Amino acid sequence: MSIRGCVIGAGSWGTALAYLMAFRVADVPLWMRNAETAETIRKTRRHPKTLENLELPPAVRPTTDLREALADCELVIFAVPSQAFREVARKAGDFLRGDQSVLSATKGFERGSLARMSEILRQETAVRKIGVLSGPNLAGEIAMGQPASTVVASRFPEVIELATRYMKSEAFRVYGSDDPLGVELAGAMKNVMAVAAGIAHGLGFGSNVLATLLTRGMTEMARMGRAFGANHLTFSGLAGFGDLVCTCGSTMSRNHTVGRMVAQGKTLEQIRQEMTQVAEGVETARSIVELSDRMKVDMPISRGVAEVLYHGRAPKEVLAELMNRPSKDELDNALRE
């Protein structure tokens, strides 16, 4: 039987993951909802809506049949937007076997429940061997063949081994972690910081602001991670500081793009109408505020981003409040043993 790995979700990240897997796997079903898009990919070997210049290898097989896509796959990667994740996971749960390895490559929280994607997979499927994939992985750069690294985290070593075997290449390095909680939290929270970085960029601020945002943003992320019981060192790794540098410093980042558009005076509704793909940091900002209140964790940058996005506050007004907060020891408890 041919080796099979499956990707659920054909946005830019899901498409890039299928592309990566196709160099090591003989058959890579790429599941999507849109039959017209699937047919276009079959005919042209290119996605008509994202990464248009990326020619997909023959191993990548677009399909709208979820049962067929999941059958006999050793490794399944979910890369659907966070707010559609439960619906797709529930449908996939009818076909997934308990012995399959499943990774979430989605970075965010479910609205309302504040559930992480790995939690949704446990709730909606019979799969136990669950992991998360995160890191500084801009799909556009991967599509150009540029070197990149990621981290796969799971309590099951075989999930990490399988993901490494299916995706590692000369241009894509895979690291392992036994802290899926920290990796998942870091991947979600850094998107909010990327929105903040985009706002700063759009307002014309330079390197001093970006450096401050990166370091204080990581402190916030580590603080929340510590409250959840994650390893604070995870936030210094690829899923934390690595991804933070990547998304906060790149204009290719969707969340950074949202921030720049906010700085131009556009409303959230206008931004959503103009963007063709989901920027997870928009919804995550609201979730982080809810988590901050629930767990009594101080998250001033994330809260400031939510104030700008959802309450119409001027970015410069929020910045002034952040700058005038009482001074404190730089290394708070989130960064100490």
Q: What is the pLDDT of residue 10?
A: 96
Q: How many helices (H) and strands (E) does the chain have?
A: 15, 8
Q: Summarize pLDDT for 5-24 with one digit per residue, the tens.
A: 999 999 999 999 999 999 99
Q: How far apart are CA 250 and CA 281, in angstroms?
A: 15
Q: In whole angstroms, how far apart are CA 89 and each of 5, 34, 131, 255?
A: 17, 17, 14, 24
The answer to pTM > 0.75 is: yes
DSSP class of residue 335 equals G
For Cα atoms 332, 186, 214, give the angle at the middle one, nearest 5 degrees: 60
Q: What are the distances in angstroms from CA 79 to CA 44, 104, 225?
A: 22, 7, 23
**Which residues of the chain are in CATH 3.40.50.720 domains?**
5-178
- Please tell me the CATH code under which domain 5-178 is placed: 3.40.50.720
Query: Residue 241 gets which letter from DSSP?
Result: I
Count of residues for the chain? 337
Q: Percentage of residues in the chain with pLDDT exceeding 90?
A: 88
Please answer whether residues 29 and 66 qualify as being in contact, where contact means their C-beta atoms are separated by less than 8 angstroms: no
User: Where does CATH 1.10.1040.10 sit in the chain?
Assistant: 181-335
Is the pLDDT at 27 greater than 90? The verdict is: yes
pLDDT band at 330 (very low <50, low <70, confident <90, very high): confident
Phi, psi of 133 (to 5 degrees): -120, 130
Q: Mean pLDDT across the chain, nearest whole number?
A: 94
What amino acid positions are annotated as catalytic residues? 190
Q: Which residues contact 13 (CB under 8 A, 6 or more apart)?
A: 79, 105, 137, 139
The pLDDT tens digits for 229-249 are: 999 999 999 999 999 999 999
User: What one-letter code names the amino acid at 287?
Assistant: S
Record the tokens describing residue 110, joined without a space. Answer: 């479910």
Per-residue model confidence as pLDDT tens digits over 168-180: 999 999 999 999 9
- Which region holds residue 204: left if phi is over 0, alpha if psi is between -120 and 50, else beta? left
- Separation in Å, CA 201 to CA 36, 94, 204, 231: 37, 45, 5, 31
Check whether domain 181-335 has CATH 3.40.50.300, yes or no: no
Helices 315-323 and 300-311 meet at what angle, rounded to 10? Answer: 160
Local confidence band at 335 (pLDDT 50, 70, 90 cut-offs) = low
Whether 1 has a pLDDT exceeding 50, the answer reads: no
- Residue 335 · residue 283 · CB < 8 Å: no
pLDDT over 90 (residue 3): no
